Structure 1
């Protein structure tokens, strides 16, 4: 369809039933088309640090970009914009026109399972970077989908948790990044969160969707639900939710919506408005001009590789560097021995859940170090600690009923002992939920394999099933789960806790293993899994499971000139669907003990930590160097080596505070909440005092590292802070930065604001502007910053307005939230009031 699309004309041709049909998806990733009326389908793809395509696991490979926490640590809007542009190209390669990202919720607590795919604890930083990513995406014709609106700060019971948030905190902290991004980038889509906010599920909240989003902010795009996050028919439609996802419709079945229209619960004009938004969304994506959905492709672009490496390196934060232990250039390491310990051979590129992609590749530090230093350095390796959360999927030495490697997968109709469907070469006794009884063709699935161990011993196995599941070894039932798994979300994302058991195996003897599983009756809060089932069986021989690993690592460290310990979270430990089990590195303190032991053996110990969150660091005083790498994407190894070697001067800064103890964190005592009548309830009792706003009010010694902190291989001097009134609505500030060291590098100018007359009701200071500047040795530059007057004020819950009281305010230049450099005062002559 060429030329301008007549949306109103198309809408008038649609029957009520047809209009209702496009208010839910066709399948997991596509909208419903109506070919006879010229309405095409569009495809969306999971993000936000890659475009995965239709397959949740496997499938066509994709470029894996740095996670949002890593992008935030770069404090660089240009890099965020370029990542958005590249993500748009990746989205097109998967036949999609809409990327489900960026994630823009707050880091309320370090244990938040999805913090890594959000930007920061600071709303200004999160909003500015989200806006940059969205502008990049939409400049290349791909819709950004800012999510999850709103206040999805935890994963525990995320489908049903009831959050009570004071309106001031909601406005100043949790809605503020969305407000910034929506006003500055105008995303074409917004995704609602699962949780309940102040009495309403987000998809049913007229306050969030109609009053704030479309009313106060004047936004005109499409609102879609999170997958399975539509909670009612009339409630969600009347509140402003345009599109239920995924499809086919679970809640918005045509008959149910028609019945509500006839009963007067929904006006047909409201159906028209929801359908109009869907059609306008399709128009923005230019699908009326070209309605094809191309086949998915894996396109590994050199320019994407380069951008990922650059962005990953710029986000790495140098947290400690005693006696200038780092960098380690080639001439410094030539002829030396370096012990690489821990995750050195693994590319810790991304977290778990919907942010995970099947990366084109993952460059490990081990490979990158060898490529960079060549034969001039001797590298040794030791694993050092057990870190697996789940035993590996059982696949080695297993053959199916056809005698070929792998498992036989059978499906049985209800009450039948004869399978009606058989699949061969199922690779491992491990799967995410598969199969559906929607057609009533089968109700039980069974994995069968003949296992012949190569070692005799009391080996370990562990299992889980979405629904009732049994394991038989030689027809002996050795394990049973009688009902729905206790953590279906963890099961979905392959990170569920499984109790380990032991069984006596004899080498060379063949054992027939059968795993039978049935769908649970229902999956409360995850109705999209109703009628589905899946099983997992992990296995590890006793010699590997019980092996003592630390001694070898200590010996390698003693023999080496330098020891580099790679620690962190794998996607099993840090993932959508679950919050952190502990503030300490997993597993059971093994990584903490490893670092302490290695540091005691080698005074030149560097820790390279890959997490998306702050973690406890009981070993901090014992080590010489510390890098926080986050999840840098598929070029993770190269990005890390760039910084270790000094090829890239570290310029990352912390986008979240690193407390010493979880008990000192702002949400301690009310995260993740308490069960009341079986429903998790959480009150945001800390109000606006999250992150550095909290730590500014308590003793600074509660922090290992403050927000905005980061070291460099050079030095900078910041001076000459000036500020002047530009208009009633803004101030202009400037500061001079000089590189006083011997290497080129990047410095972050951080500008905070606070009242001169301090008050317990208001933060000591809040970030109001930031800018990265890169300078050669001896070079200086004047950095100009704009400060919005409204950011000096607060949201008055009684007046329902933003208020900036008359009086004196401080503008504060700082190296971090805990390191003030210079302060100037500005005056607001009269009280200013802003509509929300």
Structure 2
């Protein structure tokens, strides 16, 4: 098909047709205009997999490591490979747009979406994001960088006002977006839910119109996050193109009327519609009209890539005595912990996908060792009462009070079901009721936890007797993106082998009028002291004990932050008892953010594996056995305790917010900038990560010691692998400005290079710095300033492990307008 003439198409459209393009047709697709041959295109959630149009239980897809694991690789070229593979996955789901990457910063360790973001550092975040974007877009799928901007917490995320001064925003939070636009030509931007300095993100003309489009020259599409647009007139004039999802709430006839009355310019509407058409063209919608059916493909090359990414993102935090990799002499290995036989592969929320498979650590190690593996769970790590993994039968009614005949019957594989935009055929997602039934046979006597969580009204009955009510008292809470109520839990005695019928009655209408509905029934008998004792006994009898602990997709989840940095339930006690029984104890952590480690001084080896995707157990086993080297370095400072985090100063305005506002009054001092500047010792510093080999660094070299304004300086260092194993070293370049007109961090990351070296091999890390590496943002002048004088150039293996230093002098002041 010939390339369409987009201006001619716009000329041929009525105002109503132009406006129709500015809202999705449904949850995932844009509007088609058959009269003019304008096709629809489909978007799909990422960022660690292309889910497709069914929120849970749809066609399976490849599940990649979460973003913090990708950030931990410090390898943009490798992340470009992941982007290319994700482009293929998106196409399998009929999508031309992937809603990723997420580049909000790790301001706090408690952010529920910490796992979905790359780093606390804007430079590292931007470099990783650019690799991801290039990989996607080089293969015909548009990236959607998000969430623009300062969506750095999930507390009151739909409404909170992030109050941020301009210098802080420019030097930290806008940097990854700016790099994505200028360096990677990202094709789409998603605005965040929150307000920024008063205005909702999608209505924020100073950010969208003036900075994103005006100063940076972004010519792509801007879309709202789902249900995040609030103002017909303000969003259209700000240049926010696409309201998602459909059907419209603030556009449609309201926007047509605003144009007719002169409150919105017809030129603004035309410009927004033109950018929708441009995106359709860029992703091949005109060339190949029609949205194909979703399908799955279990490609061996993608399995191998995901496995490699998992190892490259794993961070060896501690390895006293060289306990890792495992020695082949270990004949009995105790595998202990809640994650042994559960593959913790991803975080929760819109990043969640129906993975092709889930390899557990037990399965991964069983495939790589002949040792006897003794498995004991020992403790729990759930946030919400675990589901029943058995069929749940559901009868649907077209009424909201369970009256009338059953309209549809369905059976789901577990006791949770989410409906995003569509339910079952003939069922209106905004007006239905349902009765879900599970026949449960308790495996043991005990007081079981029974729970309900619902985006919709609900109540639970056991053998016909109501035990939980969330119907008359339902209120929005902290689940299902804040569209669901807070979990309701009761204790209920059950007897082993005696069947019970558990019924959930459900009604869709609530005070939150969105077409996202869900119900979740939990039934579980908590673990007791006997489980800890069994783990201790198994450890005592083994050559090596490996404890697999951490969080999961309920703790690291969109929609709510974590309450603290503690590991839940009895996991810390489990580690203490295991290491007391066996000093050869290795802890494998799986979390999406730092946690407190009170047992760290007693455990010789700790591996942070994050959530490494569907090949979880294989990737972890590769590192434990030495088949692969741990390639990761921390992209977030690991504090000793929550009180050491800059957002934990006791002022609720700083975090989590108060009166609908959260104030970023720490300025540019987050993460290592805070720790290094204010002398707060971390547990593990930013950039930290050990290897199973050793490296020797040479002298730091610079190509010049003085530069003129507008010039560059190149810094290099030789690194030699002096050990007996292959491994990688990440050379990190920090810049310091000891004399400045404003208060600046003690040092800031401005470059890095990752070297993969065989034993005896020497590689050279070469990093070139331009003027922005030395500059700060001058709000009075509206631009970037690098002041004349001396700057420190510090090369290190982490922010606290500096291996060599040099200096450069800037001969005169440099300025560049924003």
Q: Find the residue that maps to 1:767 and give its secondary structure.
A: strand
Cα deviation code 1:409-428 (max 9, x no counterpart): 23152577323514143444
Does structure 1 residue 4 correspond to structure 2 residue 3? yes
Cα deviation code 1:538-597 (max 9, x no counterpart): 212x5x55564211111111111111001111111111111112201123xx11111111
Q: Find the residue that maps to 2:340 and give its secondary structure.
A: helix
TM-score, with normalisation over the residues of structure 1?
0.93
State whether residues 466 and 485 of structure 1, in contact with CA within 8 Å, keep that contact through their aligned partners in structure 2: no
Residues 307-706 of structure 1 correspond to what in structure 2 (within 5 A)? Answer: 307-329=305-327, 331-333=328-330, 335-374=331-370, 377-394=371-388, 406-411=392-397, 413=399, 417-433=403-419, 442-448=431-437, 457-483=446-472, 485-488=474-477, 490-491=479-480, 498-505=487-494, 511-523=500-512, 527-529=513-515, 533-540=517-524, 542=525, 546=528, 548-587=530-569, 590-668=570-648, 669-670=650-651, 679-700=659-680, 702-706=681-685
Q: Find the residue that maps to 1:281 and give its secondary structure.
A: helix
Q: 1:666: Cα distance to partner?
A: 1.3
Q: 1:431: Cα distance to partner?
A: 2.2
Compute the RMSD of aligned alpha carbons: 2.4
Structure 1 447/807 Cα, relative in aligned 2: closer, same or farther at 3 Å?
Answer: same
Between 571-580 and 750-759, report the one with greater CA deviation: 750-759
State whether residues 803 and 834 of structure 1, in contact with CA within 8 Å, keep that contact through their aligned partners in structure 2: yes
State whether residues 654 and 664 of structure 2, in contact with CA within 8 Å, keep that contact through their aligned partners in structure 1: no
State whether residues 454 and 485 of structure 2, in contact with CA within 8 Å, keep that contact through their aligned partners in structure 1: no
Q: 1:458: Cα distance to partner?
A: 4.1
Structure 1 716/449 Cα, relative in aligned 2: closer, same or farther at 3 Å?
Answer: closer
State whether residues 46 and 101 of structure 1, in contact with CA within 8 Å, keep that contact through their aligned partners in structure 2: yes
State whether residues 470 and 477 of structure 1, in contact with CA within 8 Å, keep that contact through their aligned partners in structure 2: yes
Does structure 1 residue 777 correspond to structure 2 residue 775? no
Q: Find the residue that maps to 2:451 and give its secondary structure.
A: strand
- Of 791, 794, 802 in structure 1, the residue corresponding to residue 773 of structure 2 is 791
State whether residues 413 and 420 of structure 1, in contact with CA within 8 Å, keep that contact through their aligned partners in structure 2: no
State whether residues 72 and 313 of structure 2, in contact with CA within 8 Å, keep that contact through their aligned partners in structure 1: yes
Between 277-286 and 472-481, report the one with greater CA deviation: 472-481
Does structure 1 residue 282 correspond to structure 2 residue 283? no
Unaligned runs of 5+ in 2: none
- Counterpart of 2:690 in structure 1 is 711
Write the distance in 1 (CA, Å) between the matches of 2:321 and 2:652: 39
- Equivalent residues, number: 811
Cα deviation code 1:59-113 (max 9, x no counterpart): 1111111111111111111101111111101111111111110111101111111
Q: 1:448: Cα distance to partner?
A: 4.2
- Counterpart of 1:134 in structure 2 is 133
Write the distance in 1 (CA, Å) between the matches of 2:542 and 2:744: 52
Q: 1:489: Cα distance to partner?
A: 5.2
- Counterpart of 2:191 in structure 1 is 192
Q: Find the residue that maps to 2:416 and give its secondary structure.
A: coil
State whether residues 386 and 549 of structure 1, in contact with CA within 8 Å, keep that contact through their aligned partners in structure 2: no
Does structure 1 residue 93 correspond to structure 2 residue 92? yes
Write the distance in 1 (CA, Å) between the matches of 2:188 and 2:161: 25
TM-score, with normalisation over the residues of structure 2?
0.95
Q: 1:628: Cα distance to partner?
A: 0.7
Cα deviation code 1:634-662 (max 9, x no counterpart): 11111111111112222311111000011
- Counterpart of 2:699 in structure 1 is 720
Q: 1:512: Cα distance to partner?
A: 4.8
Write the distance in 2 (CA, Å) between the matches of 1:307 and 1:197: 38
Q: 1:756: Cα distance to partner?
A: 3.3
Write the distance in 2 (CA, Å) between the matches of 1:582 and 1:117: 18
Q: Find the residue that maps to 2:620 and give its secondary structure.
A: helix
Write the distance in 1 (CA, Å) between the matches of 2:267 and 2:178: 28
Write the distance in 1 (CA, Å) between the matches of 2:540 and 2:288: 64
Write the distance in 2 (CA, Å) between the matches of 1:441 and 1:161: 26
- Counterpart of 2:33 in structure 1 is 34
Write the distance in 1 (CA, Å) between the matches of 2:221 and 2:646: 34
State whether residues 465 and 534 of structure 1, in contact with CA within 8 Å, keep that contact through their aligned partners in structure 2: yes
Q: Find the residue that maps to 1:618 and give its secondary structure.
A: coil
Between 93-102 and 734-743, report the one with greater CA deviation: 734-743
Cα deviation code 1:797-826 (max 9, x no counterpart): 221111111111011111110111211111
- Counterpart of 1:763 in structure 2 is 745
Structure 1 632/393 Cα, relative in aligned 2: closer, same or farther at 3 Å?
Answer: closer
Q: 1:506: Cα distance to partner?
A: 5.3
State whether residues 464 and 485 of structure 1, in contact with CA within 8 Å, keep that contact through their aligned partners in structure 2: no
Cα deviation code 1:718-739 (max 9, x no counterpart): 2221222576242111111122
Structure 1 821/38 Cα, relative in aligned 2: closer, same or farther at 3 Å?
Answer: same
Q: 1:492: Cα distance to partner?
A: 5.1
Structure 1 781/824 Cα, relative in aligned 2: closer, same or farther at 3 Å?
Answer: same
Structure 1 166/458 Cα, relative in aligned 2: closer, same or farther at 3 Å?
Answer: same
Write the distance in 2 (CA, Å) between the matches of 1:519 and 1:318: 47
- Counterpart of 1:212 in structure 2 is 211
Write the distance in 1 (CA, Å) between the matches of 2:483 and 2:756: 42
- Counterpart of 1:400 in structure 2 is none
Cα deviation code 1:699-743 (max 9, x no counterpart): 35x311000111111111222212225762421111111222222
Structure 1 607/128 Cα, relative in aligned 2: closer, same or farther at 3 Å?
Answer: same
Write the distance in 2 (CA, Å) between the matches of 1:421 and 1:467: 19
Q: 1:487: Cα distance to partner?
A: 4.7
Q: 1:533: Cα distance to partner?
A: 4.6
- Counterpart of 1:399 in structure 2 is none
Q: 1:484: Cα distance to partner?
A: 6.9
Q: Find the residue that maps to 1:471 and give its secondary structure.
A: strand
State whether residues 788 and 812 of structure 2, in contact with CA within 8 Å, keep that contact through their aligned partners in structure 1: yes
- Counterpart of 1:120 in structure 2 is 119
Write the distance in 2 (CA, Å) between the matches of 1:495 and 1:709: 39
Does structure 1 residue 24 correspond to structure 2 residue 6? no
Q: 1:503: Cα distance to partner?
A: 3.0
State whether residues 557 and 602 of structure 1, in contact with CA within 8 Å, keep that contact through their aligned partners in structure 2: yes
Between 506-515 and 644-653, report the one with greater CA deviation: 506-515
Write the distance in 2 (CA, Å) between the matches of 1:713 and 1:312: 16
Q: 1:387: Cα distance to partner?
A: 1.9
State whether residues 24 and 244 of structure 2, in contact with CA within 8 Å, keep that contact through their aligned partners in structure 1: yes
Unaligned runs of 5+ in 1: 397-404
State whether residues 333 and 546 of structure 2, in contact with CA within 8 Å, keep that contact through their aligned partners in structure 1: no
Structure 1 509/734 Cα, relative in aligned 2: closer, same or farther at 3 Å?
Answer: closer
Between 679-688 and 209-218, report the one with greater CA deviation: 679-688
State whether residues 134 and 184 of structure 2, in contact with CA within 8 Å, keep that contact through their aligned partners in structure 1: yes
